[in-house]
Amino acid sequence: MGAAQSSTFGSAHRDDKGKESASAYTMKTCYYELLGVERTATDAELKKAYRKQALVWHPDKNYDNIEEATRIFALIQHAYEVLSDPHERAWYDGHRDEILREDSDYAGDAGDRGYSTVSGHTPDSLMRFFSPDCYAGFNDDGKGFYTVYRELFAQLAKEETEAHNPDLDEDDSAAARLDWLSSCSFGNSHSPFVDEERPERSIKVFYNEWSNFSTRKSFRWLDKWRLSDAPNRFVKRHMEKENKKSRETGRRAYNDAVRNLVAFVRKRDPRYKQFQQEQEALRKEREEAHKARLAAERAERLQRLEEYEAPAWANTEEHDAVLDVLDDVWEEEEVQWECQACNKRFKNERQWKHHESSKKHREMVEILRQELLAE
């Protein structure tokens, strides 16, 4: 898909003013087409295209059709939000065909929710939930954000419970984890992201647990071979090996789809956004308090320094004169590491120098100085 194709997308639906009509923009349109860029577009090109489209479709610029402009503006915002995130863009590029597939292409047994048969949800059936088109607003209505994803995660948990085989699972924690998935809800618009009274029921914990999702499904329906058709043991082992490989591939793809869906939903969850804003405000508050404390401590040190008055014995000229006299006295004896003022001897120079810098030594020197001055 090149630039020419992207432009054709809009030019076929222009009104008398030369602007693409609203019918040209649906959620099943490729995000790159929504922004009018190629799939190889750089971050700078994406930003430029987004600003251009946002300016055209901003509700304030379309007062004659605010409702439709608001819808299209939201689609353009979502497209840019996905493509400007390296992780989400990589996921979109790898699953673009599945995401753009019409809902009717999914075989399901749960109405318009898109649940597939036999295996329950599959990576393909989950693709429709990577779009704001699957819910209508961030509310608790029947098709609102919280209802749609609450029912989805409840269905996923139910499928895991049904797929769990305790006879084949020696890990006791697996059963406990399944119990948690079945009992913990996605909540509604009023559910706290962090629940102080019941931390284990916090939406934060919900996302943390689902972010580490690991399915219990067997994926036997992906087997390539029916073992009963094997003519001998050698062929049977080969069939088993290929079947196991197919199951593992399917399991990895499903785990990856669920975990990426969790990240997708959390990023757009108003409760998560509010929590992030609150945490950022707390961080700034702590940072400002820390800076204020450091400034106060520095000011206090400067104040003490300004008020400090050196003692008389610290006078440089007098102190040097006393030391000269003491040097003359000490030179009369040949003890190398000895303090005549304190009448102490030391094993090495390091101990002697340490002693000379001590408070007791300086006090003794001051006493001797006073005695010498008195004489």
User: What are the residues facing 12 on neighbouring strands?
Assistant: none
pLDDT tens sequence across 60-94: 888 888 888 888 888 898 899 999 988 888 888 88
Cα separation, 197 vs 189, whole angstroms: 18
pLDDT in the model for residue 110: 37
Fold for 1-84, please state it: Helix Hairpins (1.10.287)
Confidence of residue 365 (pLDDT cuts 50, 70, 90): confident
Cα separation, 56 vs 54, whole angstroms: 5
- What is the bridge-based pairing of β-strands 338-339 and 344-345? antiparallel
Confidence of residue 14 (pLDDT cuts 50, 70, 90): very low
pLDDT in the model for residue 168: 62
- Which of 25-29, 40-44, 62-66, 347-351 ranks highest by mean pLDDT? 40-44
148 pLDDT more than 70 = yes
The better pLDDT of the pair 365, 152 is held by 152
Which amino acid, residue 59? P
Helix 233-268 to helix 203-211 angle (10° resolution) is 150
pLDDT in the model for residue 95: 79
117 pLDDT more than 60 = no
DSSP string, 152-167: HHHHHHHHHHHH--TT
* Structure-derived torsion over alpha carbons of residues 255, 259, 262, 263, reported in degrees to the nearest 10: -160
Give me the long-range contacts of 43-50 (CB less than 8 A, separation at least 24): 43/84, 46/80, 46/83, 46/84, 47/80, 47/84, 50/76, 50/79, 50/80, 50/84
Confidence of residue 1 (pLDDT cuts 50, 70, 90): very low
| Percent of the chain surpassing pLDDT 70 | 76
pLDDT tens sequence across 234-255: 999 999 999 999 999 999 999 9
Cα separation, 324 vs 375, whole angstroms: 16
315 is written with which tokens?
A: 């006078």
Q: E-assigned strands of the chain? A: 338-339, 344-345
| Mean pLDDT of the 151-175 span | 78
207 pLDDT more than 90 = yes
Q: Which residues contact 113 (CB under 8 A, 6 or more apart)?
A: 151, 152, 155
Confidence of residue 143 (pLDDT cuts 50, 70, 90): very high
User: What are the residues facing 344 on neighbouring strands?
Assistant: 339
Cα separation, 59 vs 254, whole angstroms: 39
Residue 324 burial class via C-beta count within 10 angstroms: exposed 0-12, middle 13-18, buried 19 and up: exposed
List the one residue out of 331, 314, 317 whose CA is nearest residue 365: 314
54 is written with which tokens?
A: 């946002």
The domain limits of the chain are 1-84, 107-268, 315-374
pLDDT in the model for residue 100: 76
pLDDT in the model for residue 195: 86
| Mean pLDDT of the 172-177 span | 67
Contact 80, 46 (CB under 8 A): yes
Cα separation, 289 vs 321, whole angstroms: 50
Helix 43-57 to helix 66-83 angle (10° resolution) is 170
Q: What is the mean pLDDT of the chain?
A: 79
| Percent of the chain surpassing pLDDT 90 | 34
What is the DSSP code (8-state) at residue 199? G
Residue 328 burial class via C-beta count within 10 angstroms: exposed 0-12, middle 13-18, buried 19 and up: exposed
